[in-house]
Structure 1
Amino acid sequence: MTNRDYANRKPARKGKAKPKTIRRKSQAPAPRRFPLVLLLVTLGLITGFGYFLWTINNSAEELDETKAPVVEQTDIKLTQKKDPKALPPKPEEKWTYQQELVNKQVEVDIPETAVQTHLYQMQCGSFRTQAQAEQMKAVIAFQGLESDISKVRGTTGDWYKVSLGPYERKRQAEKHRHILQKAGINGCFLMYVKK
């Protein structure tokens, strides 16, 4: 089946064809009249614009005269006329906090720091053979970090765990983990260790 576009298709005429209009040669097109309305509107706009320019011609000089203060002499006193657009004088500061801060003493109660009950340790690998653990320890040593290998007995046999630490602060452990991640060691994770 072929696809047809019924939305953009023009309907075909059935039956009689459209009659053609016959134009006689004797009919000439009507002469175009002069656009009198357009001429009047254009002249009105030009006249209005000219009047606007004429009114603002001397306004700049009048504006300069109002900005300059006028000084009059009356009875040997010189008085100055106030400009209505002038700003009021700057107010005096009423604040005394600057003097108070110089002589102020602040007392702060610092609570005693809680005794840390745990440390952080980072484990980077767990291997079946000690040779694999020693190899991981060497890679960590090339990064400038010191690690330990501990042997742990599990249900499936002995495991050799490579770990770093202990750290008192988590920030230091995270710093070392980022160093190891740059070296391509991504399996390290942090653990809590009790003191």
Structure 2
Amino acid sequence: MAKDYVRRSKPKRNGRTAKSGGRTRAPEPRVPWLAVILVLVLLAGFGYLIYLIKGSADSRTVEPPAAARTPPPAAPVNPIDQKPVEKWRYIEQLENKEIVVDVPETAAQRAKPEDAPDKRYIMQCGSFRSAEQAEQLKARIAFQGLGSEVRRSEGSNGVWYRVIMGPYPSQRVAEQDKHKMSRLNTDCVVRQG
């Protein structure tokens, strides 16, 4: 015959019977009293240390150094030991100063005879039937940092508005501006005039 182990019970110490299949309680954790006491002692020591530092800082007075309390004895002053006093006079001098610069003549001016006519160059960048188109090109030229003007001319085939740059003192200067204008996809013609 089979035994019923689940219902079997053991007698307890105090005389009662307990069921053997039940769980027993886990032991309660013990408080680590030694660690708690050590932490409290450390906190108390730290608090006492702060109290001592605070108390010593309040009771100390700062005394000025001895050199600051008594004036130094009067000794002969050496001019080398003294710091020089800076007085800037150039500000007043430059306000009303006028400088005359003698510019020597260039080789081209010296070689040119007095009665020879000046060679001036102008550059024509466009010729339009309407003044609006000429003003638009003038504005594009102004955005490049160059100056120009619109001249109205009447001819046998009607009214034209020409965009003119210059006059230039040499053809080389005119060609430099012509290269700037070629970056704008604007073809200009340098003429002597």
TM-score, reference length from structure 2: 0.41
TM-score, reference length from structure 1: 0.40
Higher CA-based Rg:
2
